[in-house]
Amino acid sequence: MSNNAFNTLKSFTLGSGGTGQLHSLPALARRFPNVKRLPVSIRIVLESVLRNCDGKKITEAHVEQLANWRPNDRRVDEIPFVVARVVLQDFTGVPLLADLAAMRGVAAAMGRNPKTIEPLVPVDLVVDHSVMIDHFRRPDALQLNMQLEFERNAERYQFMKWGMQAFDTFKVVPPGIGIVHQVNLEYLARGVHRKAGVYYPDSLVGTDSHTTMINGIGVVGWGVGGIEAEAGMLGQPVYFLTPDVVGVHLKGQLREGCTATDLVLTITEMLRREKVVGKFVEFFGEGTRSLAVPDRATIANMAPEYGATMGFFPVDEKTIDYFEGTGRTAEEIDAFESYFRAQGLFGVPRAGQIDYSTVLELDLGSVTPSLAGPKRPQDRIEIGKVKSTFAELFSKPVAENGFNKD
């Protein structure tokens, strides 16, 4: 773990009366006062850099650089980010398991203990991308489809089962459970992790662009390629350029009849216009507090569509309610809430509390029922204007998003 170079390893009290240890951001803020006004997402990344500072892969200079993050600095430095876990979908996960098996084979051929090849963080492989549907519209469709799936891919599932037995930190979620992002949100995310008595926040990379759905419950994470995911599995930092953070101030409440889909199309249209590619987007304000976790997760899921690295929602009471409603244990929820409160990370920030690179505003009351544009989700069309918009686009040239028809 850490060498505690900044003397930030402190104790905190759990709601149950127990105690734990953490690398304290408030303690770090006494040396770097700027930390108090950092975006929540940057502070969670900073905690990882601080905790994993070993003087080699991650140095004190890395901690100081991120602790002194400024909203509009020139971005030239990379952040070494060690994630808490990795999520794989099956198309990319099976080749990564094959890589681990090959490494064990090489270790054995060299006369070394193959067990030394082991993921250093928890890895979950969710089987969902490759599943085929042959039967439908009948009560036994699930059973018949599952039977065919295991018959067709018996060797593949035998290999996955071997991986679960061979690696202590490798788990497989079988087909028929759900889509990887929903499984990650409802089941895999634990809020906080504990290792050697030290608590730290959940974070991850996943081998799917829509991994960002997990940002809806205050977890820092995004999609990466297979090589980066494998590096993360083996305990290596994921390097990324220090980002700008765009704050989105949500005001008011959604009108009756407006859905999360209407809201996310409006946000996607707005953020595409603002060019947020390569940036973190963080939501704050009273409107953000009014949104339930499923609505937040819907917005976070669309980060690839509006181009951001993340669409992040801080942890608050709505997040705790969601954890309670999805079967997390009382002990897990206690550790989750107590940790975030001790770090000063609990609650959706109000306007003026955080320094963002840019601040955008959206009144939720202005959101109207909408459809995704005929070609791209950012080309939102209000329901009342569908007919006139289609008639207009029908003859417009393709360069102007039309169909070029007479």
Average pLDDT score over residue span 210-223: 98
Furthest C-alpha separation in the chain: 73
Q: First vs last Cα of the chain: how many Å apart?
A: 66
Quick one: pLDDT band at residue 253, thresholds 50, 70, 90? Answer: very high
Please determine, for residue 1, whether its predicted confidence score (pLDDT) is greater than 50. no
Nearest by Cα to 101 from 204, 224, 230, 206: 230
Q: What percent of the chain has pLDDT over 70?
A: 99
Predicted confidence (pLDDT) per residue in 151-190, tens digit: 999 999 999 999 999 999 999 999 999 999 999 999 999 9
Mean pLDDT, the chain, as a whole number? 94
Instruction: Identify the weakest region by mean pLDDT among 165-174, 289-298, 386-395.
Output: 386-395
Which residues lie below 8 Å from residue 158, measured CB to CB, with a gap of 6+?
A: none
CB 219 within 8 A of CB 190: no
What's the pLDDT at 403? 82
Q: State both tokens at 104.
A: 């064990």
Strands (E) across 202-346 are located at 203-206, 220-223, 238-241, 245-251, 280-284, 310-312
C-alpha 243/C-alpha 220 separation (Å) is 13
Average pLDDT score over residue span 124-134: 93
- Find the radius of gyration of the CA atoms of the chain: 23
Place of tokens 């060498």: 3
Predicted confidence (pLDDT) per residue in 262-293, tens digit: 999 999 999 999 999 999 999 999 999 999 99
Average pLDDT score over residue span 350-373: 94
**Model pTM score:** 0.92
What's the pLDDT at 89? 94
C-alpha 383/C-alpha 88 separation (Å) is 37
Domains in the chain, ordered, with CATH?
Answer: 83-241 (3.30.499.10), 243-313+348-368 (3.40.1060.10), 369-400 (no CATH)
Average pLDDT score over residue span 121-141: 94
Q: State both tokens at 322.
A: 């969601």
What's the pLDDT at 396? 83
Predicted confidence (pLDDT) per residue in 46-93, tens digit: 999 999 999 999 999 999 999 999 999 999 999 999 999 999 999 999
Average pLDDT score over residue span 208-220: 97
C-alpha 119/C-alpha 232 separation (Å) is 9
Check residues 399 and 193 and name the one with the higher pLDDT: 193
What's the pLDDT at 379? 82
C-alpha 4/C-alpha 326 separation (Å) is 35
Quick one: pLDDT band at residue 389, thresholds 50, 70, 90? Answer: confident
Q: Torsions phi, psi of 402, nearest 5? A: -95, -170
Please determine, for residue 401, whether its predicted confidence score (pLDDT) is greater than 90. no
Please determine, for residue 2, whether its predicted confidence score (pLDDT) is greater than 70. no
